[in-house]
Amino acid sequence: MSCSAAKKILLSCLGGLVFLGGVACTACLARASGVASSDGAPVVTAPLPPAPQAVANPRPAIAVTQPQPQALPVQPERRTALVIGNASYASGALRNPVNDAAAMARTLGALSFDVTLRENLDQKQMLRAIDAFGEKLRRGGGVGLFYFAGHGVQLNGHNYLIPVDASIQNESQVQYQAVDMGEVLSQMAWAKNRMNIVIMDACRDNPFAQSFRSLSLGLAQVVAPAGTIIAYSTAPGSVANDGTGDHGVYTGALIKTMVQPGLQIEDVFKRVRLAVSEETDGKQVPWESSSLIGNFYFVPLKHQPTRVASIPPQAPPAAPAIVPPIASPMQSASRGENRMTILKTWKEPITGIEFVWIPPGCYLMGSPQKEKGRSEDEGPVHQVCVDGFWMSRTDVTNAQFRKFQKDHDSGKFKGISLNGDDQPVVEVSWHDATNFCQWLTGQNGGQYHFRLPTEAEWEYAARAGTETARYWGNDSTKACVHENVADYTAQKQLGLKAISQCDDGYATTAPVGTFRPNPFGLYDMLGNVMQWCEDVYSVDAYVQLEKNNPEYTDESKGQSRVVRGACWHDPPSAVRCAMRRNGLPDQRSDDLGFRIVRSAQ
Q: Please state the domain extents for the chain.
A: 7-308, 327-598
Q: At what angle do helices 181-191 and 123-140 cross, to 10 degrees?
A: 20
From residue 108, give the alpha-carbon distance in Å to each of 20, 54, 63, 516. 16, 13, 13, 28
Average pLDDT, stretch 543-562?
92
Could you tell me the pLDDT band of residue 244, with boundaries at 50, 70 and 90?
Answer: low
Q: How confident is the model at residue 169 (pLDDT cuts 50, 70, 90)?
A: confident
pLDDT at 326: 36
Q: What is the pLDDT of residue 236?
A: 60
Residue-level pLDDT at 221: 61
Q: Average the pLDDT over 541-567 and give the result.
A: 93
Contact 142, 153 (CB under 8 A): no
How far is the CA of 24 from the CAs of 62, 161, 196, 406, in angstroms? 21, 13, 25, 57
- Of all residues in the chain, the percent with pLDDT exceeding 70 is 74
> What's the pLDDT at 269?
83
Confidence of residue 242 (pLDDT cuts 50, 70, 90): low
Model confidence at 262: pLDDT above 50: yes
Over residues 110-120, mean pLDDT? 94
pLDDT given for residue 224 in this prediction: 59
Q: List 81's β-bridge partners, or say none.
A: 115, 145
Higher-scoring residue by pLDDT: 60, 463: 463
Whether a cis peptide bond, with omega within 30° of 0, leads into 60 is no
Q: Decide if 7-308 and 327-598 have a common fold.
A: no
> What does the pLDDT read at residue 310?
33
175-180-182 Cα angle (round to 5): 140
Counting Cβ atoms within 10 Å, is residue 562 exposed (0-12), middle (13-18) or buried (19+)? buried
Task: Give the separation between CA 123 and CA 130, rounded to whole angstroms.
Answer: 11
Torsion angle, CA of 549/553/557/559, rounded to 10 degrees?
120
Q: According to the model, what pLDDT value does residue 190 have?
A: 84
Residues 6 or more apart in contact with residue 180 via CB below 8 angstroms: 5, 6, 9, 158, 159, 160, 161
pLDDT band at 173 (very low <50, low <70, confident <90, very high): confident
pLDDT, tens digit, for every residue of 424-471? 999 999 999 999 999 999 999 988 999 999 999 999 999 999 999 999
Q: Is the model's pLDDT at 241 over the cut of 60? A: no
Rounded average pLDDT over 531-552:
94
Distance CA 209, CA 44 (A): 34
Span 43-59, average pLDDT:
39
Q: What would be the CATH architecture of the domain defined by 327-598?
A: Alpha-Beta Complex (3.90)
Closest CA to 309 of 167, 143, 505, 138: 143
Q: Is the pLDDT of residue 1 over 60?
A: no
Helical packing angle, 265-279 and 249-258, nearest 10°: 140
pLDDT at residue number 60: 35
Question: Is the link from the previous residue into 517 a cis peptide, with omega within 30 of 0?
Answer: no
Q: What is the CA radius of gyration of the chain?
A: 25
| Average pLDDT score over the chain | 78
The crossing angle, in degrees rounded to 10, of helices 97-110 and 249-258 is 10
More confident site: 585 or 59: 585
Residues 37-49: what's their mean pLDDT?
39
pLDDT value, residue 243: 56
- Asked whether residue 47 carries a pLDDT value surpassing 50, the answer given is no
Count other C-beta atoms under 10 Å from residue 443's C-beta: 17
Architecture of domain 7-308: 3-Layer(aba) Sandwich (3.40)
Q: Tell me which range, 68-77, 100-109, 263-272, 327-336, is most confidently predicted by mean pLDDT.
A: 100-109
CA pair distance 210, 207, nearest whole angstrom: 8
At residue 226, does pLDDT exceed 70? Answer: no
pLDDT tens string 334-362? 323 333 344 689 999 999 999 999 999 99
Q: Of 292-296, 303-307, 457-461, which gets the smallest average pLDDT?
A: 303-307
Closest CA to 290 of 8, 6, 15: 15
Average of pLDDT values for 113-135? Answer: 94
pLDDT of residue 9: 35
Q: What is the pLDDT of residue 68?
A: 46
Does the pLDDT of residue 136 top 50, yes or no? yes
